[in-house]
Amino acid sequence: MSRPLKWLLAVIGIFLSSFSLYTIYISGKPAFDSYNIVGWVGFAIGFFILMLLLYYLNVKVGITYTLILLLLLFLMIGLEKLKHNNEKTAKEISGEMQQLDENGNIIITHPYDNLISLEWGTHNNVDLDLMLIDKTNNIFVNFGTPKYATDENNSIWLDYDYQRQKSVAMKEIISILGMKDKMFSIIVMNYNGEKLNQDAVVTIILSDRNTTTYTLPAKQFNDATNSIHVCDIAMQTNTITKVMKDFHNNITQR
């Protein structure tokens, strides 16, 4: 094997492994969730290439590459956990005090047209996450990306996000302003894998003030998939299409 080919394979191995780790990091799913299986396969292939090159290249070089990839892997997992915990802790501290006004209305400090809420009982350590996805336009709003906007009249916010439920049931809230040309999917995920004993409830209030409520069975959050594709919303027509199926690597076909 020629030396240029060896180095080319080394570059391919490093790029494939690094890019795979990056896609896992930005997916919004837990690092070892089944949603990230393609990313882990890419990482494994890149890592395998580097292991083969240990035989052809200087051993010290191969070991250095391997250590760099392992450090990237542990750093990614650590940052994911730290960011998720810090963001949720900060939102819980402010949210538990300020979610409702004196009349019992949810406090939203910006204009919005549509409101999506998620609640899952009281006194539990289950970390359910409410997500809004438009794969066609690469839009993901979740705990890792709490806001998306194209301009001042078209925005999405994750207004409230909680790691657990205490004595008073708190709602996770996503609000939407504009976005009339989009089709969104609502996903709910059990982030930390704790067993949920109470059914969850998703409520959708659209700009025409029509309200739709879905009850999500607790047992669907306690299996290997741990995520539910609740429904799809066509913003232009305010049409909601019920799905209520497990959310795997791809959005269920409409």
Q: Tell me the domain boundaries of the chain.
A: 3-94, 114-246
Nearest to 220 by CA among 175, 177, 178, 188: 188
Q: Quick one: pLDDT at residue 95?
A: 47
What DSSP designation does 163 have?
S
What are the 10-residue block averages of pLDDT along the chain, 254 residues in total? 70 76 66 72 80 66 68 71 61 52 75 94 88 89 89 92 78 94 94 89 93 94 88 95 82 36
What is the C-alpha to C-alpha distance for residues 49 and 32, in angstroms, rounded to an integer? 22
Residues 6+ apart with CB under 8 A from 46: 12, 13, 14, 15, 16, 17, 18, 20, 69
Contact 210, 238 (CB under 8 A): yes
Residue 253 is predicted with a pLDDT of 35
The predicted structure's pLDDT at residue 93: 45
pTM of this structure: 0.61
Which residue is listed with tokens 């890019």?
Answer: 19
166 DSSP assignment: -
The pLDDT of residue 63: 65
pLDDT recorded at residue 92: 52
CA atoms within 13 A on the CB side of 79: 13
